Amino acid sequence: MNQPSICYLSKSDIQQAGGGSSDLYVTALERALRLHAKGEFVQPLKPYLRANGKEGHIADRIIAMPAHLSGESPVSGIKWIGSKHDNPVKRNLERASGLLILNDPQTNYPIAVMEASLISAMRTAAVTVIGANYLAKKNFQQISCLGCGIIAKMQVTSMLEQFEQIRKVHLFDLNEASARKMAQHIQSQFEQVEVCVADSAEKAVRQGEVVITATVTDQPYIPFEWLQKGAFISNISIMDVHKEVFLQADKVIVDDWEQANREKKVIHQLVVEGKFSREQLHAELGEILIGKKAGRESEEEIILLNPMGMAIEDISSAYEVYRRAIANNIGTALSLY
């Protein structure tokens, strides 16, 4: 009888296998999004475990995200990721941490367990990169990022790695020290880029041809009037833009309609109010990748991407990391028995 084992990959193992590079995640997410558009996946709605219920902060939760991807290299798995909004300030810890488990769909035996926060943050950044490829103006040069934590740093770094034409980055955070620290980090890595710390969210947003939200807010603060003509907004942190942005933008795109229309998020509120519907949605992002729906069609369009984050993105990314780790003998083998 075979003795099943799993490959354990720490964060440093993942980085060694290429998991710190945006290229890996763009490849993995394009695969996942194309399979999503073709219906070649299984992805139950993710449950949120909130120990403090409605009294807790919106970012205080543990999420279970199971998924299966079909295609040429089928794989199943789950991400179990926890977050506490005050971890950085109170405990000197990153806000989020978790585990990813991969299963062989032939046997359903687990084949890998790995640290999840790096993959989770990097795949989220890849969503913005892919969105910008299809939804931003050609040759955009200025990007703005609201929030300056770990997620924001990976968002901006991935954008700068993938778009050499970017010349200016505008940052804003309620904690100015966080914004200045991130500005120094970016400037040290990308000397050709000018990095500015704005003294208000409005100033940062108004300058952005691409606007990225990476906050833990539970209240919208970005009105439609702040957005310049032709802006692309990657609304990663979901709750940042006012309802009017959804209603006045030329195109609204999500990653998955069922995931986006839940949990009392802004889209769900608008649907309940009778102001928005599946028919008013322009597309799911994968539909644009496979050519079923158009991306940007003019330089003047204001386009909003509102991605909830999908388990298939994590599983596809984790599988790509695992594949490279096995090929390069990275990680620790652990016996199940």
Judge if 141 and 277 occupy the same domain.
yes
pLDDT value for 225: 98
Looking at the fold, whether 151 and 285 belong to one and the same domain comes out as yes
pLDDT in tens, 217-248: 989 999 999 999 999 999 999 999 999 999 99
CATH number at 82 reads 3.30.1780.10
Q: What integer pLDDT is reported at residue 264 of this predicted model?
A: 77
Q: Are residues 111 and 165 in the same domain?
A: no
Q: What is the CATH number of the domain that holds 167?
A: 3.40.50.720
Structure tokens at 104: 């062989």
Summary count for the chain: helices (H), strands (E): 11, 16
Same domain, 214 and 268: yes
Domain with 219 in it: 135-309
Its pTM stands at 0.93
pLDDT for 294 equals: 98
Work out the angle at residue 213's Cα, subtended by the Cα atoms of residues 211 and 181, and round it to the nearest 5 degrees. Answer: 95
Asked whether 4 and 108 are in contact (CB, 8 A), the reply is: no
The pLDDT assigned to 3 comes to 81
Residue 164 phi/psi, 5-degree rounding, is: -70, -15
| 186 shares its domain with 297 | yes
Say how many domains are in the chain: 2
**Are both 66 and 150 inside the same structural domain?**
no
Q: Please tell me what DSSP assigns to residue 222.
A: B
Is residue 263 in some structural domain?
Answer: yes
d(C-alpha 27, C-alpha 18), whole Å: 12
> Which parts of the chain sit beneath pLDDT 50?
none
The verdict on whether 79 is a catalytic residue reads yes
Q: Can you give the pLDDT at residue 144?
A: 98
* Residues 95 and 141 both lie in one domain: no
Among left, alpha and beta (phi > 0; psi -120 to 50; other), residue 95 is alpha
Query: Both 199 and 62 in a single domain?
Result: no
pLDDT digits (tens, 9 = 90+) for 53-82: 888 888 899 999 999 999 899 999 999 999
Same structural domain for residues 141 and 96?
no
Element spanning 243, H or E: helix 243-248
Q: Are residues 164 and 277 in the same domain?
A: yes
Residue 1 has a pLDDT of 54
Q: Which helix (H) or strand (E) holds 82?
A: strand 75-83
Pairwise CA distance, residues 182 & 170, whole Å: 11
Do residues 105 and 160 share a domain?
no
Active-site residue, selected from the candidate residues 46, 79, 137, 293 = 79
Q: Do 109 and 173 have their domain in common?
A: no
